[in-house]
Amino acid sequence: MPESDKILSEPRRIMMESWCPNSVSDDVGSERVLNWFDEVQKAKEQKRQPSLWRATVKLMGFRPLLIGLWFIPYKLLRTINPLLLAFLLPYFLPCTTMSALTAWLLATGIVFCSASSSVLYHSFFYRMQQCSMQLRIAYTGIIYKKLLRLSSQSMNKTSTGQITNLLSNDANLIETALLFMNFLWMSPLGIVFVVITLWYFVRYIAFIPVGYTLALLCWQFVAGRLFVKIRSKILQTIDERLKVMSEIIRSMRIVKMYCWEASFEHKIKDVRKREIIRYSYRLILDCVQTLFIHTYVDMAFLLMYGTMWYLNMAFDTKYFAVAYCLLAYLKWSVAEVFSYAVRNLVEYLSARKRIETFLLLSESERDVRIRSLSSVQTVLFDNSYMLASDCKKQSESSSIYCDLKVAKWETDVPFTLKNIEINAQSGDIIAVIGPVGSGKKARVNMARALYQDADIYLLDDPLSAVDVKVGKHLFEECIKGYLKCKVCILVTHQIQYLKDATKIIVLNNGEAVAQGTYEELLKSSISFAKLLEDIHQHEINTPDGDEKNKLNLSIDDLDKRTENDLLLRTQSSRTSRDETQNNHQPTETKATGVVKWHVFLDYFRASASLILVFLLMFIVFTSQQAIAVFSNWWSNEEQLRHEHPNGTCGSKFKSQIHSMSNNEWELYRNKKFYIYSGTVAVLFIITLIRVISTEFLCINAARILHNR
């Protein structure tokens, strides 16, 4: 295979350097998240309710509207294009008087309008998609940051299903709502352009399709309100189903032990049944919406043609071409895009209320600082009680000083911390050694903390329960590297990292028994020097070449020693190897390729019988397209009969029409109109059958696949 063909056929990876600066989600999300919290702070100062809508408008400004101005030339070109086509059509008549130069100029104008409108269309949607994507990232980031701040009481009120819906459904609605927002004012502007163009040909008959379009717009607003109500009920049912599923997964052992599978299965089926019923209500609205969209051109043209037939008005080639092109444009601009914009806007307003409700939940008091007190007093943080004094933040923004006397987290227990004094500068690493936990949750919290740009980082032993290589990587790359300019307080029992600490605090039963640098503690603290002596003796007895058999050195259970004596705890080499295997992170993979054909076949089989599905699709779709083509052909034939009583050159019906009397002509004319009306009615019915069958086959497939 040639090298060029190989390059084009193989999938290419998009590297991080390939992205534009304004497409980096970290920068985009951080900027937008701060905007919401600024809105919350201003709302507190002004004593009003924080508004996510106000924060969104302040964030985006007039940028979406300025992008929408790109679409005004597009609408003008789409309106001019049918006019150029109407003026070009007489050139193809046998008795035309138009010059070839004029025809070439008109054809060039048609090509130019088509190409220019295509460029403007894709440029507009590219900019709007980029803008809406950034706003979706902002909403997702706000929800994620708020989730990390929730208090225990708020977490009990929030289910996993609700958070999943907020991120996967509600946050995505802003993207589609903003993408089509400009059509709320551009579609009415397009109607004005269409009326002006049609007025040139048929005068007041131009208001007939506009009236039909306005009636559809009224239906769009009513349907939008109904969509919101049904969607709210659907989301409530989805939250309930996901909540039950989460409870089953978390309590799988208990479910298996007590054989509750059947009861939970019935419960899930009942919830899913109610969800399907509510989806069916929405599908009914979708069917009506889709029916009006697919039959918009034929129905609007029938109303115009019927009015002209009733008033005995002429029906020429120019009008036929212009009317069909402009009605096709109105179908896309009003019947499809405008209705989609209205529905998305109404759904977004409903989703915004749910997101606001979540964002206004109570937060934990993690950001509350211990204030300077003139005398010792009790400070309450949720369920923790702290006796503090002389705790203050220095005037310099790069340092912090705290003198903590005693602290405890429960009322009926002894004080957990005593006599803790910290004076930290920017770039300091303060090692706090004493009994700690396993560190598994701390490593997850450390990963979350690294995504934030904070001044102080409190790390609760993230280096435990890992092998030597991983622990060294975390300390060197994260703590000493990424956090080198920050104040980092590290609680750990890994003694081997003490030499790199700026300051060391030794705790025993929650009380600081020694504090200082590594060299100062060696000189002043006998117990610390004895501890390091034991470590040194242990390292001498350990072979240097066997890296995997080195023992993890840690301090634990300080309460089992005397007040100034620390216990060195070692782990066996077998435990170290086991932890190395358990902490091995598998390489992430991604699925590539295409969806197999059997997936689509399974979906069709689930909806109904495979033969029935293909037969129904073939008959309905073929009939619809055949009727649509026949109605267009019949309209074209009808415009050729407009010459009576003064026929024009080139009409193949000239001799036939001139031989008719007035009564015969009226009967002939009425018969042709009734045939066309019947054709449109059949098209309407077939389209309705197609829409209903397609929608309910899909929902039936979803129901059966879920039950499997």
Quick one: which of 622, 71, 651 has its CA closest to 317?
651
Q: pLDDT tens digits, residue range 600-647?
A: 777 777 777 777 777 777 777 787 778 777 776 776 666 555 544 444
Nearest-angstrom CA–CA distance, 575 and 467: 10
Among 212-226, 444-458, 563-577, 595-609, the least confident range: 563-577
Residue 41, both tokens? 């702070």
Higher pLDDT, 372 or 267: 267
Nearest-angstrom CA–CA distance, 542 and 49: 65
Which pLDDT score is estimated for 469?
Answer: 73
Which pLDDT score is estimated for 22?
Answer: 59
DSSP conformational letter for 205 = G
Nearest-angstrom CA–CA distance, 498 and 536: 13
Average pLDDT of the residues in 168-178: 83
- pLDDT category of residue 398 using cuts at 50, 70 and 90: low
User: Is the per-residue pLDDT at 394 higher than 50?
Assistant: no
Quick one: which of 197, 211, 228, 243 has its CA closest to 87?
197
Residue 343, both tokens? 């529905």
DSSP conformational letter for 556 = -
Average pLDDT of the residues in 18-25: 58
User: Is the per-residue pLDDT at 251 higher than 60?
Assistant: yes
* CB-CB contact of 549 with 580 (8 Å): no
Phi, psi for 313 (deg, rounded to 5): -95, 155
Higher pLDDT, 466 or 294: 294
Which pLDDT score is estimated for 15?
Answer: 53
The fraction of the chain above a pLDDT of 70, given in percent, is 69
Higher pLDDT, 31 or 433: 433
User: Is the per-residue pLDDT at 361 higher than 80?
Assistant: yes
Quick one: which of 482, 490, 375 has its CA closest to 424?
490
Quick one: which of 326, 321, 421 has its CA closest to 87?
321
Q: pLDDT tens digits, residue range 298-317?
A: 888 888 878 877 777 766 65
Average pLDDT of the residues in 467-478: 77
Quick one: which of 127, 174, 123 has its CA closest to 23?
127
DSSP conformational letter for 458 = E
User: Is the per-residue pLDDT at 242 higher than 50?
Assistant: yes
Which pLDDT score is estimated for 9?
Answer: 46
Nearest-angstrom CA–CA distance, 182 and 51: 22
Q: pLDDT tens digits, residue range 425-438?
A: 776 777 666 555 55
Nearest-angstrom CA–CA distance, 454 and 466: 26
- pLDDT category of residue 547 using cuts at 50, 70 and 90: very low
Report CA 148 to chain centroid distance, whole Å: 19
Query: Which residues contact residue 577 at a Cβ distance below 8 angstroms, ignoring those fewer than 6 apart?
Result: 548
In 585-699 the beta strands, taken as DSSP E runs, fall at none
Average pLDDT of the residues in 149-159: 76
Which pLDDT score is estimated for 385?
Answer: 40
Which pLDDT score is estimated for 157?
Answer: 75
Residue 78: exposure state from Cβ atoms within 10 A (0-12, 13-18, ≥19): buried
Helix (H, G, I), strand (E, B) or coil at 360: coil
Quick one: which of 214, 167, 168, 216 has its CA closest to 195?
214
Higher pLDDT, 5 or 444: 444
Average pLDDT of the residues in 520-535: 65
Q: Dihedral of the CA atoms 587, 591, 592, 595 (nearest 10)? A: 170
Quick one: which of 108, 106, 61, 100 has its CA closest to 85?
106
Higher pLDDT, 498 or 552: 498
Residue 152, both tokens? 């225990």
- pLDDT category of residue 172 using cuts at 50, 70 and 90: confident
Q: What b/e readout covers 429-443, taking b as 16+ CB neighbours within 10 angstroms?
A: bbbbbbbbeebeebb
Nearest-angstrom CA–CA distance, 358 and 350: 13
Higher pLDDT, 56 or 116: 116
| Alpha carbon separation from 368 to 354, 371, 410 (Å, rounded) | 27, 9, 19
Helix (H, G, I), strand (E, B) or coil at 670: helix
Higher pLDDT, 43 or 2: 43
Quick one: which of 237, 232, 296 has its CA closest to 684?
296
User: Is the per-residue pLDDT at 566 higher than 50?
Assistant: no
Query: Which residues contact residue 264 at a Cβ distance below 8 angstroms, ignoring those fewer than 6 apart?
Result: 244, 248, 255
390 C-beta neighbours (distance < 10 Å), count: 15
What does pLDDT average to over the chain? Answer: 71
Helix (H, G, I), strand (E, B) or coil at 90: helix
User: Is the per-residue pLDDT at 580 higher than 60?
Assistant: no
* CB-CB contact of 59 with 33 (8 Å): no
- pLDDT category of residue 654 using cuts at 50, 70 and 90: low
Average pLDDT of the residues in 15-31: 56
pTM, full prediction: 0.56
Average pLDDT of the residues in 53-78: 82
Nearest-angstrom CA–CA distance, 426 and 417: 24
Nearest-angstrom CA–CA distance, 257 and 375: 56
User: Is the per-residue pLDDT at 598 higher than 60?
Assistant: yes
Helix or strand run (H / E) with residue 78: helix 71-88
Q: How many Cα atoms sit within 13 Å of 658 on the Cβ side?
A: 9
If DSSP states are collapsed to H, E and C, what string results for 232-277? HHHHHHHHHHHHHHHHHHHCHHHHHHCCCHHHHHHHHHHHHHHHHH
Helix (H, G, I), strand (E, B) or coil at 354: helix
Beta pairing class for 399-408 and 417-425: antiparallel
Nearest-angstrom CA–CA distance, 604 and 611: 9
Phi, psi for 565 (deg, rounded to 5): -125, 130
Nearest-angstrom CA–CA distance, 627 and 683: 6
Residue 396: exposure state from Cβ atoms within 10 A (0-12, 13-18, ≥19): exposed
Quick one: which of 653, 626, 627 has its CA closest to 638?
653
Q: pLDDT tens digits, residue range 73-125?
A: 888 888 788 888 878 877 777 677 778 888 899 889 889 988 888 888 888 88
Phi, psi for 405 (deg, rounded to 5): -80, -70
